[in-house]
A and B are shown apart, each in its own frame.
Chain A
Amino acid sequence: MRVTVDSAKCQGHNRCMILAPDTFDVDDMGFAHVPEDMQVVTEGRRESVEAAARNCPEMAIVLTED
Protein backbone atom coordinates (compact mmCIF):
# COMPACT_ATOMS: atom_id res chain seq x y z
CA MET A 1 0.00 0.00 0.00
CA ARG A 2 1.14 3.54 -0.77
CA VAL A 3 0.05 6.72 0.96
CA THR A 4 0.14 10.34 -0.17
CA VAL A 5 -1.65 13.56 0.78
CA ASP A 6 -3.72 15.44 -1.78
CA SER A 7 -2.30 18.89 -1.16
CA ALA A 8 -5.26 20.54 -2.89
CA LYS A 9 -7.52 19.12 -0.18
CA CYS A 10 -5.34 19.30 2.96
CA GLN A 11 -6.35 22.22 5.20
CA GLY A 12 -3.88 21.60 7.99
CA HIS A 13 -6.08 19.90 10.60
CA ASN A 14 -3.01 17.79 11.53
CA ARG A 15 -5.10 14.80 12.60
CA CYS A 16 -2.68 12.61 10.63
CA MET A 17 0.27 13.99 12.60
CA ILE A 18 -1.38 12.87 15.83
CA LEU A 19 -2.52 9.47 14.58
CA ALA A 20 0.48 8.47 12.43
CA PRO A 21 3.44 10.69 13.32
CA ASP A 22 5.91 8.18 11.81
CA THR A 23 4.41 8.59 8.36
CA PHE A 24 3.28 12.19 7.99
CA ASP A 25 5.12 15.47 8.22
CA VAL A 26 4.02 19.09 7.90
CA ASP A 27 5.50 22.16 6.26
CA ASP A 28 6.04 25.57 7.86
CA MET A 29 2.39 26.44 7.27
CA GLY A 30 1.08 23.27 8.87
CA PHE A 31 0.04 21.45 5.68
CA ALA A 32 0.69 17.71 5.62
CA HIS A 33 2.69 15.54 3.24
CA VAL A 34 4.27 12.11 3.26
CA PRO A 35 8.07 12.13 2.82
CA GLU A 36 9.10 10.04 -0.16
CA ASP A 37 10.74 7.29 1.89
CA MET A 38 7.57 6.85 3.93
CA GLN A 39 5.10 6.53 1.06
CA VAL A 40 5.32 2.75 0.87
CA VAL A 41 3.40 1.69 3.97
CA THR A 42 5.14 -1.07 5.88
CA GLU A 43 3.01 -3.56 7.80
CA GLY A 44 3.93 -1.97 11.12
CA ARG A 45 2.57 1.41 10.02
CA ARG A 46 -0.52 0.17 8.21
CA GLU A 47 -2.97 0.49 11.09
CA SER A 48 -1.96 4.03 12.02
CA VAL A 49 -1.98 5.19 8.39
CA GLU A 50 -5.45 3.75 7.84
CA ALA A 51 -6.66 5.45 11.03
CA ALA A 52 -5.25 8.76 9.79
CA ALA A 53 -6.99 8.33 6.43
CA ARG A 54 -10.34 7.52 8.04
CA ASN A 55 -10.11 10.48 10.41
CA CYS A 56 -8.94 13.11 7.94
CA PRO A 57 -11.70 15.74 7.97
CA GLU A 58 -10.95 16.68 4.35
CA MET A 59 -10.57 13.10 3.05
CA ALA A 60 -7.22 14.27 1.71
CA ILE A 61 -5.22 11.11 2.41
CA VAL A 62 -4.89 8.88 -0.65
CA LEU A 63 -4.27 5.15 -0.14
CA THR A 64 -3.48 2.96 -3.13
CA GLU A 65 -3.06 -0.80 -2.96
CA ASP A 66 -0.06 -2.17 -4.89
Chain B
Amino acid sequence: MSETKCPVDFDYHGESLDAIFDTYKELRSECPVGYSSKYGGFWFLTKNEDIFAAEQDHATFAVAPSMLLPSFGTEVPLIPIDIDPPSHAAYRRILLPLFTPKAIDALTPRVVEVAKNLASSIDTNGVADVSHAFARPLPTIIFSALAGFPEEDWPRFDTWIDEIIYERVEEPDVAKKAADEVFAYFDDLLARRRNEPDRDDIIGYLLRAQVDGKPLTHDELLSYCYLLFLAGLDTTAWAIRSSLWQLAQDREAQERLRQDPDLMPTAVEEFLRTLSPVQAMARTATRDVEVRGKQIKAGERVVLAFGSGNRDEDQYEHSDDIIIDRVQNRHFAFGVGIHRCLGSNLGRREAVVALQQFLEVLPPFSLAEPDQPWHGVGPLRLSFDKKGA
Protein backbone atom coordinates (compact mmCIF):
# COMPACT_ATOMS: atom_id res chain seq x y z
CA MET B 1 0.00 0.00 0.00
CA SER B 2 1.62 3.21 -1.12
CA GLU B 3 -1.13 5.45 0.19
CA THR B 4 -1.93 5.25 3.85
CA LYS B 5 -4.90 7.59 3.77
CA CYS B 6 -6.45 7.04 0.32
CA PRO B 7 -6.77 10.82 -0.17
CA VAL B 8 -9.50 12.22 -2.39
CA ASP B 9 -11.39 15.50 -2.30
CA PHE B 10 -14.67 13.78 -1.46
CA ASP B 11 -17.51 16.17 -0.60
CA TYR B 12 -21.16 15.55 0.22
CA HIS B 13 -22.67 19.01 -0.08
CA GLY B 14 -23.91 21.26 -2.90
CA GLU B 15 -23.10 20.30 -6.47
CA SER B 16 -21.13 17.26 -5.32
CA LEU B 17 -24.50 15.66 -4.73
CA ASP B 18 -25.33 15.75 -8.46
CA ALA B 19 -23.19 12.70 -9.19
CA ILE B 20 -22.67 11.43 -5.67
CA PHE B 21 -24.05 7.94 -6.29
CA ASP B 22 -21.34 7.37 -8.94
CA THR B 23 -18.78 8.80 -6.51
CA TYR B 24 -19.92 6.41 -3.78
CA LYS B 25 -19.72 3.42 -6.09
CA GLU B 26 -16.16 4.28 -7.05
CA LEU B 27 -15.16 4.92 -3.44
CA ARG B 28 -16.67 1.66 -2.17
CA SER B 29 -14.61 -0.17 -4.74
CA GLU B 30 -11.34 1.83 -4.69
CA CYS B 31 -11.27 3.73 -1.44
CA PRO B 32 -13.94 2.49 0.99
CA VAL B 33 -12.27 4.29 3.90
CA GLY B 34 -10.51 7.46 2.81
CA TYR B 35 -9.45 10.94 3.80
CA SER B 36 -10.80 14.16 2.32
CA SER B 37 -9.10 17.52 2.68
CA LYS B 38 -12.43 19.41 2.69
CA TYR B 39 -13.80 21.20 5.77
CA GLY B 40 -10.57 20.97 7.72
CA GLY B 41 -10.06 17.33 6.78
CA PHE B 42 -12.07 14.24 7.56
CA TRP B 43 -12.03 10.50 7.21
CA PHE B 44 -15.03 8.96 5.50
CA LEU B 45 -16.59 5.51 5.72
CA THR B 46 -18.61 4.32 2.73
CA LYS B 47 -19.32 0.65 3.45
CA ASN B 48 -22.60 -0.39 5.06
CA GLU B 49 -21.05 -2.61 7.71
CA ASP B 50 -18.37 -0.06 8.68
CA ILE B 51 -20.98 2.67 9.12
CA PHE B 52 -23.12 0.38 11.24
CA ALA B 53 -20.17 -0.61 13.43
CA ALA B 54 -19.17 3.02 13.96
CA GLU B 55 -22.75 4.02 14.81
CA GLN B 56 -22.93 1.27 17.41
CA ASP B 57 -19.58 2.24 18.94
CA HIS B 58 -20.49 5.68 20.23
CA ALA B 59 -17.68 5.62 22.79
CA THR B 60 -15.09 5.59 19.99
CA PHE B 61 -17.04 7.66 17.45
CA ALA B 62 -18.41 10.55 19.51
CA VAL B 63 -20.64 13.35 18.22
CA ALA B 64 -18.93 16.20 20.09
CA PRO B 65 -18.11 18.86 19.02
CA SER B 66 -20.79 18.37 16.32
CA MET B 67 -22.12 15.82 13.86
CA LEU B 68 -22.58 18.68 11.41
CA LEU B 69 -19.69 19.39 9.07
CA PRO B 70 -19.57 22.25 8.31
CA SER B 71 -21.62 23.60 11.19
CA PHE B 72 -25.16 24.99 10.94
CA GLY B 73 -23.91 28.56 11.37
CA THR B 74 -23.28 28.20 15.10
CA GLU B 75 -20.64 26.66 17.34
CA VAL B 76 -23.24 25.90 20.01
CA PRO B 77 -23.63 22.11 20.46
CA LEU B 78 -27.11 21.20 19.25
CA ILE B 79 -29.31 19.20 21.59
CA PRO B 80 -29.62 16.25 21.40
CA ILE B 81 -27.58 15.40 18.29
CA ASP B 82 -24.26 16.89 19.42
CA ILE B 83 -24.46 15.47 22.94
CA ASP B 84 -22.70 12.23 23.91
CA PRO B 85 -23.60 9.80 26.68
CA PRO B 86 -24.24 9.95 29.55
CA SER B 87 -26.24 13.21 29.18
CA HIS B 88 -27.64 12.36 25.77
CA ALA B 89 -30.41 9.92 26.73
CA ALA B 90 -32.10 12.26 29.19
CA TYR B 91 -32.37 15.07 26.64
CA ARG B 92 -33.74 12.68 24.08
CA ARG B 93 -36.33 11.03 26.33
CA ILE B 94 -38.12 14.34 26.78
CA LEU B 95 -39.59 14.14 23.29
CA LEU B 96 -39.79 10.38 22.68
CA PRO B 97 -43.47 10.12 23.77
CA LEU B 98 -44.43 12.59 21.02
CA PHE B 99 -43.14 10.31 18.28
CA THR B 100 -44.50 6.87 19.18
CA PRO B 101 -46.65 4.99 16.63
CA LYS B 102 -49.77 5.95 18.62
CA ALA B 103 -48.84 9.62 18.59
CA ILE B 104 -48.11 9.52 14.86
CA ASP B 105 -51.44 7.76 14.19
CA ALA B 106 -53.22 10.55 16.04
CA LEU B 107 -51.56 13.16 13.80
CA THR B 108 -52.29 11.32 10.56
CA PRO B 109 -55.80 12.63 9.77
CA ARG B 110 -54.39 16.16 9.86
CA VAL B 111 -51.51 15.14 7.56
CA VAL B 112 -54.04 13.68 5.10
CA GLU B 113 -56.11 16.86 5.19
CA VAL B 114 -53.14 19.16 4.65
CA ALA B 115 -51.67 16.99 1.87
CA LYS B 116 -55.02 16.82 0.10
CA ASN B 117 -55.53 20.58 0.30
CA LEU B 118 -52.03 21.38 -0.92
CA ALA B 119 -52.27 18.91 -3.80
CA SER B 120 -55.70 20.26 -4.78
CA SER B 121 -54.34 23.79 -4.94
CA ILE B 122 -51.72 22.92 -7.59
CA ASP B 123 -52.57 24.32 -11.04
CA THR B 124 -51.94 21.44 -13.44
CA ASN B 125 -52.37 23.50 -16.62
CA GLY B 126 -48.88 24.93 -16.69
CA VAL B 127 -45.60 23.96 -15.10
CA ALA B 128 -45.85 23.74 -11.31
CA ASP B 129 -43.02 24.03 -8.78
CA VAL B 130 -44.15 21.27 -6.42
CA SER B 131 -41.27 21.87 -4.03
CA HIS B 132 -42.70 25.31 -3.31
CA ALA B 133 -46.36 24.29 -3.56
CA PHE B 134 -46.27 20.92 -1.81
CA ALA B 135 -43.04 19.36 -0.53
CA ARG B 136 -41.99 22.33 1.60
CA PRO B 137 -45.30 23.60 3.01
CA LEU B 138 -46.51 20.17 4.15
CA PRO B 139 -43.83 19.59 6.82
CA THR B 140 -43.85 23.29 7.69
CA ILE B 141 -47.57 23.11 8.50
CA ILE B 142 -47.49 19.71 10.24
CA PHE B 143 -44.29 20.02 12.21
CA SER B 144 -44.73 23.68 13.15
CA ALA B 145 -48.14 22.91 14.65
CA LEU B 146 -46.68 19.97 16.58
CA ALA B 147 -43.71 22.04 17.74
CA GLY B 148 -45.61 25.21 18.57
CA PHE B 149 -44.08 27.53 15.95
CA PRO B 150 -46.82 30.18 15.38
CA GLU B 151 -48.44 30.16 11.95
CA GLU B 152 -47.80 33.86 11.31
CA ASP B 153 -44.06 33.12 11.41
CA TRP B 154 -44.08 30.30 8.85
CA PRO B 155 -43.42 32.54 5.81
CA ARG B 156 -40.01 33.42 7.27
CA PHE B 157 -38.86 29.82 7.65
CA ASP B 158 -37.85 28.76 4.13
CA THR B 159 -35.27 31.52 3.67
CA TRP B 160 -33.66 30.80 7.03
CA ILE B 161 -33.45 27.10 6.22
CA ASP B 162 -31.95 27.74 2.79
CA GLU B 163 -29.33 30.08 4.22
CA ILE B 164 -28.38 27.84 7.16
CA ILE B 165 -28.44 24.42 5.54
CA TYR B 166 -27.64 25.12 1.91
CA GLU B 167 -25.57 28.31 1.85
CA ARG B 168 -23.33 27.37 4.78
CA VAL B 169 -20.89 25.56 2.52
CA GLU B 170 -20.11 28.46 0.16
CA GLU B 171 -21.30 31.38 2.31
CA PRO B 172 -20.65 30.64 5.98
CA ASP B 173 -21.28 34.29 6.91
CA VAL B 174 -24.77 34.14 5.43
CA ALA B 175 -25.46 30.99 7.43
CA LYS B 176 -24.13 32.56 10.61
CA LYS B 177 -26.31 35.66 10.18
CA ALA B 178 -29.38 33.50 9.59
CA ALA B 179 -28.48 31.32 12.59
CA ASP B 180 -28.25 34.45 14.76
CA GLU B 181 -31.69 35.49 13.54
CA VAL B 182 -33.21 32.08 14.29
CA PHE B 183 -31.67 32.06 17.78
CA ALA B 184 -33.11 35.56 18.36
CA TYR B 185 -36.48 34.35 17.08
CA PHE B 186 -36.57 31.46 19.55
CA ASP B 187 -35.25 33.66 22.34
CA ASP B 188 -38.33 35.82 21.85
CA LEU B 189 -40.73 32.90 21.32
CA LEU B 190 -39.54 31.10 24.47
CA ALA B 191 -39.94 34.29 26.50
CA ARG B 192 -43.57 34.55 25.35
CA ARG B 193 -44.22 30.86 25.94
CA ARG B 194 -43.17 31.05 29.58
CA ASN B 195 -46.53 32.72 30.17
CA GLU B 196 -48.42 29.69 28.84
CA PRO B 197 -46.51 26.69 30.16
CA ASP B 198 -49.29 24.12 29.82
CA ARG B 199 -49.57 23.90 26.06
CA ASP B 200 -49.41 20.42 24.62
CA ASP B 201 -46.73 20.94 21.96
CA ILE B 202 -42.99 20.32 21.73
CA ILE B 203 -42.06 23.69 23.21
CA GLY B 204 -44.44 22.95 26.09
CA TYR B 205 -42.77 19.58 26.68
CA LEU B 206 -39.34 21.21 26.66
CA LEU B 207 -40.41 23.99 29.05
CA ARG B 208 -41.82 21.46 31.54
CA ALA B 209 -38.97 18.92 31.17
CA GLN B 210 -36.52 18.07 33.91
CA VAL B 211 -33.06 16.66 33.38
CA ASP B 212 -31.35 15.45 36.54
CA GLY B 213 -34.13 17.12 38.52
CA LYS B 214 -33.59 20.52 36.94
CA PRO B 215 -35.44 22.30 34.14
CA LEU B 216 -33.51 22.97 30.93
CA THR B 217 -31.57 26.23 30.97
CA HIS B 218 -32.53 28.96 28.54
CA ASP B 219 -29.47 28.15 26.40
CA GLU B 220 -30.41 24.46 26.33
CA LEU B 221 -33.95 25.32 25.26
CA LEU B 222 -32.61 27.57 22.50
CA SER B 223 -30.27 24.87 21.22
CA TYR B 224 -33.04 22.23 21.23
CA CYS B 225 -35.47 24.53 19.40
CA TYR B 226 -32.86 25.48 16.84
CA LEU B 227 -32.10 21.85 16.06
CA LEU B 228 -35.78 20.87 15.81
CA PHE B 229 -36.47 23.79 13.51
CA LEU B 230 -33.81 22.60 11.04
CA ALA B 231 -34.38 18.87 11.46
CA GLY B 232 -38.18 18.89 11.39
CA LEU B 233 -38.79 20.90 8.26
CA ASP B 234 -36.04 20.49 5.70
CA THR B 235 -35.44 16.75 5.79
CA THR B 236 -39.07 15.79 5.23
CA ALA B 237 -39.41 18.35 2.45
CA TRP B 238 -36.35 16.81 0.82
CA ALA B 239 -37.79 13.28 1.13
CA ILE B 240 -41.09 14.28 -0.49
CA ARG B 241 -39.37 16.29 -3.21
CA SER B 242 -36.86 13.59 -4.14
CA SER B 243 -39.60 10.91 -4.17
CA LEU B 244 -41.65 13.05 -6.57
CA TRP B 245 -38.52 13.63 -8.67
CA GLN B 246 -38.09 9.87 -8.94
CA LEU B 247 -41.78 9.13 -9.61
CA ALA B 248 -41.89 11.83 -12.30
CA GLN B 249 -39.41 9.71 -14.25
CA ASP B 250 -41.07 6.37 -13.58
CA ARG B 251 -44.61 6.40 -14.97
CA GLU B 252 -45.03 2.70 -14.32
CA ALA B 253 -44.32 3.17 -10.61
CA GLN B 254 -46.71 6.14 -10.52
CA GLU B 255 -49.50 4.08 -12.01
CA ARG B 256 -48.85 1.10 -9.77
CA LEU B 257 -48.89 3.25 -6.63
CA ARG B 258 -51.99 5.06 -7.84
CA GLN B 259 -53.75 1.70 -8.15
CA ASP B 260 -52.27 0.29 -4.94
CA PRO B 261 -51.69 3.04 -2.38
CA ASP B 262 -51.04 0.40 0.30
CA LEU B 263 -47.71 -0.23 -1.41
CA MET B 264 -46.60 3.33 -0.60
CA PRO B 265 -44.91 2.59 2.76
CA THR B 266 -42.71 0.01 1.02
CA ALA B 267 -41.96 2.43 -1.82
CA VAL B 268 -41.11 5.21 0.61
CA GLU B 269 -38.52 2.99 2.33
CA GLU B 270 -36.89 2.55 -1.08
CA PHE B 271 -36.90 6.29 -1.83
CA LEU B 272 -35.44 6.92 1.63
CA ARG B 273 -32.73 4.32 1.07
CA THR B 274 -31.67 5.51 -2.37
CA LEU B 275 -32.29 9.28 -2.11
CA SER B 276 -31.62 9.85 1.59
CA PRO B 277 -32.20 13.44 2.76
CA VAL B 278 -29.25 13.17 5.11
CA GLN B 279 -26.40 11.76 3.03
CA ALA B 280 -23.79 11.82 5.77
CA MET B 281 -23.09 12.90 9.34
CA ALA B 282 -19.79 13.41 11.15
CA ARG B 283 -18.28 11.88 14.25
CA THR B 284 -14.99 12.51 16.05
CA ALA B 285 -12.66 9.68 17.04
CA THR B 286 -12.06 9.64 20.79
CA ARG B 287 -9.07 7.27 20.47
CA ASP B 288 -6.80 5.89 17.76
CA VAL B 289 -8.81 3.31 15.84
CA GLU B 290 -8.27 1.18 12.76
CA VAL B 291 -11.03 0.78 10.19
CA ARG B 292 -10.47 -1.44 7.14
CA GLY B 293 -6.70 -1.11 7.55
CA LYS B 294 -6.71 2.68 7.84
CA GLN B 295 -5.34 4.30 10.99
CA ILE B 296 -7.68 6.99 12.31
CA LYS B 297 -6.14 9.14 15.05
CA ALA B 298 -7.87 10.42 18.17
CA GLY B 299 -9.44 13.82 17.49
CA GLU B 300 -9.90 13.32 13.74
CA ARG B 301 -13.33 13.81 12.18
CA VAL B 302 -14.99 10.77 10.64
CA VAL B 303 -17.89 11.18 8.20
CA LEU B 304 -20.36 8.31 7.99
CA ALA B 305 -21.71 8.33 4.43
CA PHE B 306 -25.17 6.86 5.04
CA GLY B 307 -26.09 7.51 1.40
CA SER B 308 -23.28 5.22 0.30
CA GLY B 309 -23.97 2.53 2.87
CA ASN B 310 -27.55 2.57 1.61
CA ARG B 311 -26.36 1.66 -1.89
CA ASP B 312 -23.69 -0.85 -0.91
CA GLU B 313 -23.68 -3.74 -3.38
CA ASP B 314 -22.62 -6.11 -0.59
CA GLN B 315 -25.87 -5.35 1.24
CA TYR B 316 -28.54 -5.01 -1.46
CA GLU B 317 -29.27 -6.74 -4.76
CA HIS B 318 -29.19 -4.24 -7.65
CA SER B 319 -28.26 -1.69 -5.03
CA ASP B 320 -28.43 1.38 -7.30
CA ASP B 321 -31.84 0.44 -8.74
CA ILE B 322 -34.95 2.01 -7.23
CA ILE B 323 -37.38 -0.89 -6.82
CA ILE B 324 -40.61 0.25 -5.20
CA ASP B 325 -41.62 -3.18 -3.88
CA ARG B 326 -38.21 -4.07 -2.44
CA VAL B 327 -38.91 -6.18 0.63
CA GLN B 328 -35.40 -6.60 2.06
CA ASN B 329 -34.60 -2.99 2.88
CA ARG B 330 -32.65 -2.39 6.06
CA HIS B 331 -31.18 1.07 5.57
CA PHE B 332 -29.61 4.02 7.39
CA ALA B 333 -31.65 6.94 6.06
CA PHE B 334 -32.37 7.99 9.65
CA GLY B 335 -29.03 6.84 11.01
CA VAL B 336 -28.73 3.98 13.49
CA GLY B 337 -27.63 3.66 17.08
CA ILE B 338 -28.36 6.07 19.89
CA HIS B 339 -28.64 9.11 17.60
CA ARG B 340 -31.31 7.59 15.34
CA CYS B 341 -33.48 10.42 13.99
CA LEU B 342 -35.96 11.23 16.72
CA GLY B 343 -38.66 12.18 14.22
CA SER B 344 -38.17 9.27 11.83
CA ASN B 345 -41.67 7.90 12.24
CA LEU B 346 -43.28 11.28 11.69
CA GLY B 347 -41.08 11.87 8.65
CA ARG B 348 -42.02 8.49 7.21
CA ARG B 349 -45.72 9.04 7.77
CA GLU B 350 -45.64 12.52 6.25
CA ALA B 351 -43.87 11.19 3.15
CA VAL B 352 -46.25 8.23 2.75
CA VAL B 353 -49.40 10.32 3.13
CA ALA B 354 -48.03 13.16 0.99
CA LEU B 355 -47.25 10.86 -1.93
CA GLN B 356 -50.54 8.95 -1.63
CA GLN B 357 -52.52 12.18 -1.75
CA PHE B 358 -50.41 13.65 -4.54
CA LEU B 359 -51.09 10.62 -6.73
CA GLU B 360 -54.75 10.45 -5.78
CA VAL B 361 -55.54 14.10 -6.42
CA LEU B 362 -53.34 14.92 -9.42
CA PRO B 363 -53.01 13.52 -12.95
CA PRO B 364 -49.86 11.69 -14.12
CA PHE B 365 -46.78 13.92 -14.18
CA SER B 366 -43.28 14.26 -15.62
CA LEU B 367 -40.26 16.44 -15.02
CA ALA B 368 -40.74 19.76 -16.84
CA GLU B 369 -36.94 20.07 -17.14
CA PRO B 370 -35.17 16.73 -17.43
CA ASP B 371 -31.89 17.95 -15.93
CA GLN B 372 -33.30 19.02 -12.56
CA PRO B 373 -31.10 17.74 -9.73
CA TRP B 374 -32.44 14.95 -7.51
CA HIS B 375 -31.44 16.66 -4.28
CA GLY B 376 -32.14 19.58 -2.02
CA VAL B 377 -35.27 21.65 -1.58
CA GLY B 378 -34.78 23.85 -4.64
CA PRO B 379 -37.56 24.08 -7.27
CA LEU B 380 -39.00 20.87 -8.69
CA ARG B 381 -40.96 21.74 -11.82
CA LEU B 382 -43.45 19.20 -13.04
CA SER B 383 -45.83 19.13 -15.98
CA PHE B 384 -49.07 17.20 -15.76
CA ASP B 385 -50.99 15.19 -18.34
CA LYS B 386 -54.16 16.86 -19.54
CA LYS B 387 -57.30 15.34 -18.04
CA GLY B 388 -58.80 12.80 -20.42
CA ALA B 389 -55.70 12.79 -22.60
Chain A positions within 8 Å of B, measured between CB atoms, are 11-14, 17-18, 26, 28-30, 51, 54-58
Contact = CB atoms under 8 A, between A and B. Distances in A.
A55 B333 CA distance: 13
A13 B101 contact: no
Interface in B328-372: 328-332, 334, 336-338, 340, 344-345
A11 B337 contact: yes
B101 A30 contact: yes
Main SS of the interface on chain A? loop
Contacts of B330: 54-57
B265 A58 contact: no
B218 interface: no
Given A17-B101, A29-B93, 5 more contacts: A11-B340, A30-B101, A55-B328, A55-B329, A57-B340
B99 interface: yes
A57 to B, nearest CB: 5
B336 A58 contact: yes
Contacts of A55: 328-330
Interface string B166-204: 000000000000000000000000000000000000000
Contacts of B59: none
Interface residues of B, number: 20
A12 B99 CA distance: 10
B97 interface: yes
Contacts of A13: 334, 340, 344-345
A13 B345 CA distance: 7
A51 B328 CA distance: 7
A18 B329 CA distance: 13
B337 A58 contact: yes
Given A18-B265, A26-B101, A11 B328 contact: no
B96 A29 contact: yes
Contacts of A58: 336-337
A65 B330 CA distance: 22
Q: Which of B101, B332, B340 has the largest number of chain A CB atoms within 10 A?
A: B101
B100 interface: yes
B97 A29 contact: yes
B331 A11 contact: no
A33 B344 CA distance: 19
Contacts of B337: 11, 58
A3 B69 CA distance: 40
A30 B100 contact: yes
A26 B105 CA distance: 14
A47 B93 CA distance: 33
B86 to A, nearest CB: 15
Contacts of B100: 14, 26, 28-30
B84 to A, nearest CB: 16
B327 interface: yes
B96 A12 contact: yes
A28 B332 contact: no
A9 B332 CA distance: 15
A58 B52 CA distance: 8
Counting from the closest, the 4 A-B pairs by CB-CB distance are A30-B100, A29-B96, A11-B340, A57-B336
A17 B97 CA distance: 16
B329 A14 contact: no
A12 B342 CA distance: 9
